[in-house]
């Protein structure tokens, strides 16, 4: 079912490309980098066998064949390059001294020290310390557009309540936007809210993701020239109405589930399926096409 959706979304391709070329000041190939967590990396999307494997992702630099960066690549066309810089479980908050790999996979209660005077970060690193962040901020690589979509893992109980809070997330989101805007390549930055949560899985707070983060990110982006906000909540079902559950696992008719194997399909209410990834790609494409030239 993903293929027909992509055909319908192909109508976005021409205006997106035309506007990006206008912004760049001439006809040339553009590089779009996608910063995010497991949703950006492609968890939940199907990954059929690829002719050539890339060094970082199972299907080359755009990730899984149906991950939203790969679907965005198809919408923009082969003359442009979309790079997948997603890292599973990564957070926007950058309290790196709280991350402790001993805590991965289980709860890390307040007060756990394990070599640090602060409680450790549960189930994933700050994006700031990942190899993907290092690649994304490589000042010698081409980079025209950056799409940032981080926050789902920040909404976990241990991260939002014990390690950070709204003010910490605001500070770190602003710092990340400023980091990319200050690169020598001077990329245009698109700051996206995470998709909605259909279940409060992995201790993630639905209200934080669906209400608080969109407000925060819209405000942060408005304070930075060169930044545009993308609302990813409303197009994927909204909050609290949650009207598009077919865009999220499990839904074997829409692909996903690691190559279509229903035994590997985990209906966590967090990760999109193939159609959900196609929807994210279309929302990003539409945002690029409607954003005013800088």
CB of 283 within 8 A of CB of 232? yes
* Whole-number Å distance between alpha carbons of 263 and 267: 11
> In the predicted model, what is the mean pLDDT of the chain?
77
Answer yes or no: is pLDDT of 231 > 90. Answer: yes
Rg (CA), the chain: 18
Q: Is residue 238 part of a domain?
A: yes
Q: At residue 160, does pLDDT exceed 70?
A: yes
Strand partners, 149: 36
Residue 281 domain-assigned (yes or no)? yes
Task: Evaluate whether 91 touches 99 at the Cβ level (below 8 Å).
Answer: no
82: in domain: no
**pLDDT surpasses 60 at 230:** yes
Domain contains 259: yes
Domain assignment present for residue 121? The answer is no
Model confidence pLDDT, tens digit, residues 169-183 = 999 999 999 999 999
**188 SS3 class:** strand
Q: In which domain, by residue range, is 202 found?
A: 33-46+143-290
Q: What is the structure's pLDDT at 49?
A: 53
Residue with the larger pLDDT of the pair 229 and 120: 229
Which tokens sit at 137? 């901020």
Give pLDDT, residue 164.
Answer: 60
Predicted confidence (pLDDT) per residue in 94-118, tens digit:
874 454 444 444 444 443 434 444 4
Q: Exposed/middle/buried for 181, CB within 10 Å: 0-12, 13-18, 19+?
A: middle
- What is the reported pLDDT for 13? 47
Tell me whether residue 78 is in a domain: no
Question: Which CATH number characterizes residue 220's domain?
Answer: 3.40.50.1110
Does a structural domain hold residue 148? yes
* Residue scoring higher pLDDT (161 or 185): 185
Residue 176: φ, ψ to 5°: -70, -40
Q: For the residues 254-279, what does the mean pLDDT come to?
A: 68
Overall domain count for the chain: 1
In a domain, 187, yes or no: yes
Residue pair 258/47 in contact by the 8 Å Cβ criterion: yes
CA angle 71, 294, 94 (to 5 degrees): 65
- pLDDT value for 65: 79
Q: What is the pLDDT of residues 51-94, one digit of tens each?
A: 444 433 445 565 677 889 999 999 998 889 999 999 988 999 98
Average pLDDT of the residues in 31-40: 95
């Amino acid at each position: 079912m993903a293929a027909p959706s992509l055909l319908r979304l192909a109508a976005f391709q021409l205006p997106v490309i035309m506007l990006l070329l206008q912004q760049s000041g001439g006809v040339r190939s553009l590089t779009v980098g996608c910063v995010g967590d497991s949703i950006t990396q492609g968890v939940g999307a199907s990954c059929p066998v690829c002719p050539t494997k890339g060094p970082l992702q199972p299907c080359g630099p755009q990730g899984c064949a149906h991950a939203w960066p790969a679907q965005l690549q198809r919408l923009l066309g082969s003359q442009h390059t979309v790079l997948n810089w997603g890292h599973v479980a990564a957070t926007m908050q950058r309290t790196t001294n709280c991350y402790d790999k001993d805590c991965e996979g289980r709860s890390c209660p307040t007060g756990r020290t394990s070599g640090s005077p602060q409680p450790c970060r549960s189930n994933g690193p700050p994006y700031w310390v990942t190899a993907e962040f290092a690649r994304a901020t490589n000042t010698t690589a081409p980079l025209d557009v950056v799409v940032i979509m981080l926050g789902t893992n920040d909404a976990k109980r241990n991260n939002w309540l014990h390690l950070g809070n709204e003010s910490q997330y605001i500070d770190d989101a602003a710092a990340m936007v400023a980091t990319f805007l200050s690169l020598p390549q001077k990329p245009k930055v698109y700051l996206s809210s995470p998709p909605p949560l259909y279940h409060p899985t992995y201790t993630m707070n639905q209200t934080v993701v669906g209400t608080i983060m969109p407000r925060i990110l819209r405000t942060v982006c408005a304070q930075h020239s060169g930044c545009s906000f993308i609302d990813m909540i409303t197009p994927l079902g909204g909050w609290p109405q949650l009207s598009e559950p077919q865009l999220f696992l499990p839904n074997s008719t829409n692909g996903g589930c690691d190559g279509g194997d229903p035994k590997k399909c985990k209906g966590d209410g967090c990760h999109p399926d193939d159609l959900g990834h196609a929807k994210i790609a279309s929302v990003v494409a539409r945002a690029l096409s409607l954003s005013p030239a800088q």
